[in-house]
């Protein structure tokens, strides 16, 4: 199982320290949420902060764009060192074109689905999707509680991927903790994003190790 701590939950006053903690931990990716205050009712951080993260990070950058019109910024995020670039299905009018543009810049292409969006919308495009990010909370804020319907969506996504003969990874974002990590992996999840649960812990490094061991 891939574990991607979400830097949205880190202490921004000690961002370098948080990055170094993730570097030294058993975590696999950095999950980075970019929000524009339009697609979601919150604004996080943008290009200058991502550039600082990239400078210190020694693990892949899993960048999640919660923004309208993400196509405008694909090449910018490539230049900033993003390894995976995930866009929202709900924000893309021409999703196939967007995914091709991401891949043309040398990044892996991800698609995120909000809790209300069924997995079936990706039936005709799943083979072009490297990472399918299922939101298990409504996007925009950290620290929300996990939506139980997510397990069903993970199973549906796994079936869709297998039937298409695709190699898409399933990633879960929102409310991930020791309570649900094992069940999510058993349902078919390949990657888990953990934010508040890791960064609010007394010992984040140990919490990352426990999540990895549990799942």
pLDDT above 90 for 47: yes
CATH class of 2-214: alpha beta
What H or E segment, with its residue span, contains residue 169? Answer: strand 169-173
Q: In 3D, which of 22, 24, 47 has the Cα closest to residue 34? A: 47
Indicate which residues carry an active-site annotation: 33, 173
pTM > 0.85: yes or no: yes
CA–CA gap between residue 151 and residue 176 (Å, rounded): 12
Tens of pLDDT, residues 111-162: 999 999 999 999 999 999 999 999 999 987 777 889 999 999 999 999 999 9
């Amino acid at each position: 199982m891939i574990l991607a701590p979400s830097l949205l939950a880190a202490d921004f006053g000690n961002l370098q320290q948080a990055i170094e903690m993730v570097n030294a931990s058993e975590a696999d990716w950095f999950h980075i949420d970019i929000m524009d205050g339009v697609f979601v009712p919150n604004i996080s951080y943008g290009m200058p902060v991502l550039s600082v993260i990239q400078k210190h990070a020694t693990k892949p950058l899993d960048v999640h764009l919660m923004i309208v019109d993400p196509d405008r910024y694909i090449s910018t995020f490539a230049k900033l060192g993003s390894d995976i670039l995930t866009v929202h299905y709900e924000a893309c009018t021409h999703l196939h074109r967007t995914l091709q543009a991401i891949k043309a810049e040398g990044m892996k292409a991800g698609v995120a689905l909000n809790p209300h969006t069924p997995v079936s919308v990706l039936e005709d495009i799943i083979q072009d999707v490297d990472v399918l990010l299922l939101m298990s909370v409504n996007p925009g804020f950290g620290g929300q509680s996990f939506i139980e319907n997510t397990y069903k969506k993970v199973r549906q996504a796994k079936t869709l991927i297998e039937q298409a003969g695709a190699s898409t990874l399933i990633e879960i974002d929102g409310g991930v903790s020791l309570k649900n990590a094992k069940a999510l992996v058993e349902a078919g999840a390949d990657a888990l994003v953990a934010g508040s649960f890791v960064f609010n812990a007394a010992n984040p490094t140990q919490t990352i190790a426990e999540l990895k061991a549990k799942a």
